[in-house]
Amino acid sequence: MDIFLLEAIVNGILLGGVLALLALGLNLIFGVIDVVWIAYAELVMIGMYAIYWLHVFYGWPLLAACAVAILGVALAGVLVHRLIIAPILDTAPINQLLATGGLLFFLQSLATLLFGTNFRNIGLKLPIIEIGDMFLSYARLMAFVVAVLGAILLWLFLSRTFTGTAIRAIAQDRQIMGLMGVEPKRVYLIVSALGGGLAGLAACLLVLQYDVHPYIGLSFGPITFMICVLGGLGNLLGGFVAAFIMAQIISVGGFFFSIEMSYVLAFVFFIVLMFVKPQGLFSK
């Protein structure tokens, strides 16, 4: 097989890890609160800027900056829920999607206002790994490993802890679980913090590979939504698998065509599949 094609496939798997992490956070929020945060990728952008400024401007060690970014975006997640989602939780779900759309505008232009439209990167030069004749980016490999570890941790939390069980129970039945002594409001806040935290973690992994700028959310936001819908909105495992499928289309498509065409392919694949399996790839 062509070595460059193989390289594209491996890179696709690595990209899939980060996309899977993004999809997990969004899916968790959707599955439990029944809300689509259309500004999810913009929260990631805020995290990336936080890391950039703490690390480059204030000279913090990278790991400390990342930790603060994760906590900061988790807090932002709580605020999004308290300030935007909670007041309109009882109205049609589309209202919540659109309200977070207002947040998307706000965060994008706030970033432009504060940081300008320059592309900024943290200037970290990670080595390139050579396997056989393939060149792989260390940053991508690390992102993949951390993303998978994050997913496993989330799974352990959801399946092994009381809070995790309560979260899964709420996702299954809002009304009944309230009667069983689970406080939905508290669970919603925890889930929003978790979703935000996952966005923060994704920010740490993305800032190693990409320059940050106010519109970066647009380059991986839409694809994340498609992944979630493809996996079945709220279906964590489905989203996880769908992320790797989409990443493969993007990476291998980029090898054969241009990078934009590969995204077009991914979206067209999504649209076609919606008609074959409207409730997601893994619906029965």
We find the least distance from the C-beta atom of residue 82 to other proteins, in angstroms, to be 12
* Rg of the chain over all Cα atoms, to the nearest angstrom: 19
- DSSP-H helix ranges across 34-127: 40-52, 62-79, 93-115
* Minimum distance from residue 40 beta carbon to other proteins (Å): 12
Residues 3-62 that bind other proteins (CB under 8 A): 36, 38
164 binding other proteins? (CB under 8 A): no
Which residue lies nearer to other proteins by CB, 150 or 234? 234
Residue 203 CA to residue 76 CA, distance in Å, equals: 13
The residues, ordered by sequence, that sit 6+ positions from 250 with a Cβ below 8 Å of its Cβ are 12, 15, 223, 259, 262, 263, 265, 266
Residue from the set 233, 236, 247, 250 that interacts with other proteins by CB under 8 A = 233
Give min distance, CB of 22 to other proteins, in A: 15
Using rule CB under 8 A, residue 91 touches other proteins? yes
Contact pick of 146, 203, 216, 229 for other proteins (by CB under 8 A): 229
Out of 5, 109, 180, 185, the residue judged to bind other proteins by CB under 8 A: 109
Chosen residue from 159, 161, 172, 258 binding other proteins by CB under 8 A: 258
Quote the least distance from Cβ 180 to other proteins, whole Å: 28
The values of phi and psi at residue 201, to 5°, are: -65, -45
Read off φ and ψ for residue 130, nearest 5 degrees. -110, 115
3-class DSSP assignment, residue 183: coil
User: Residue from 47, 200, 214, 238 that binds other proteins (CB under 8 A)?
Assistant: 214
Q: What is the H or E stretch that residue 130 is in? A: strand 128-131
